[in-house]
Structure 1
Amino acid sequence: MKTQENNTQPARRVRADAQRNEDAVLEAAKQVFKTLGVDAPVREIAAMAGVGVGTLYRRFPQRSDLVAAVFRREVDACAAEATSLAADHPPGEALARWLKRYTDFIATKRGLAAALHSGDPAFDALPAYFRASFEPVLKSLLDAAAASGEVRGDVAPYDLLRAIGNLSSASGEDSAGHAGAMVDLLIDGLRFGARKMESETAR
């Protein structure tokens, strides 16, 4: 029994080291893409991650593999935040906070968005991944806020995701500030709609 444990421990260490390297590469790629764009030299990413270029290429043979992995990781992180927000805040506030978090996600992914629309087949599955990740969590937040009477209940999650995506696609000076202000108006509209619907029901 001890022999089996001794044999498996090195394999576990190798897997743990490989996972740490992958996490470091993805985090470094996110930072480098943000400042230099998705066409940044791979050596910049490897140096920031503290790994060799060969290690990076073994895990991500093509640049598109790395771009897609960064995108999925960022989508997962943004979607997961909905759960913690729902646990820590009232439904309406949790919804508003997550919509702003999603706005920030869209605003910082412009370089990735250009890559995703490049026609590279490595990105073909990502739009479906985007919707499958974000629609359920937004629906849960909308349903909870509507049930508590804080927002209207007739808004489709995907319509709201698309609206914020369109608002966040503007470029130019203070584009992020403009998108944030417009999303605040959207949130106010959701709340106003709830009050109006409550008033009409009371009649």
Structure 2
Amino acid sequence: MPPRPEVVFSSDVANMDEWAQRTRIPLTTAEALGATYARAHRWFQALKQQLIREHNWSDAPSSDSRLLFAVETSSIWRSSVGLPAGPKLKLCLPVHASSFFSPERRVQWEMVFHSDIFESVRKICPPINDILHLIQCLLTGIVTVVFEEQLPEGMYRTTRGLPPIAWVNAHEAALTEIFGVAHFKALRKACNDTKAAYMLQVLPSR
């Protein structure tokens, strides 16, 4: 059975620093990260509108002014009589990147990124993949895709911290507008380097 990819959220700054060293894209200040994230607002909003227009999502009721947007949709799974087999799926993103690092909101973001939205829906819904990949570019290490495979010598855990190079090339203009030319070139170089974009750990068998 092939390894099953799992999206993992982590607000551990040390983890981000490790990815910064791996990708050779240095971590900047919190203010700089926040400013870059803010420049991506328009793209995030466009992806939200695409979810609503093309994929049967709708605005979710929310009075939280800290959210950039909140949308929801029915579960993709159906019961034997064709009704949604589960609660609605809710996707939200914060206005400020710093919210991802707030200890009291860690569970909120885990519930978003560890949900069926990123487990299953993203495989059939391109805007969800775009959101994942954009966050990987903006805040590398905070959301990764993990594959685990049990082999005789132990558990092989492969973690992808950056998007596929094809995605980066396809969105060159938008990414350059957000990051600038120099940072985009460094990002593309890292995405094209397996050792930079992926991390392999071998965990001994117990």
The bucket for the TM-score relative to the shorter chain is under 0.3
Q: TM-score, normalised by structure 2?
A: 0.25
Q: TM-score, normalised by structure 1?
A: 0.25
Bigger relative contact order (CA 8 A; separation at least 6): 2
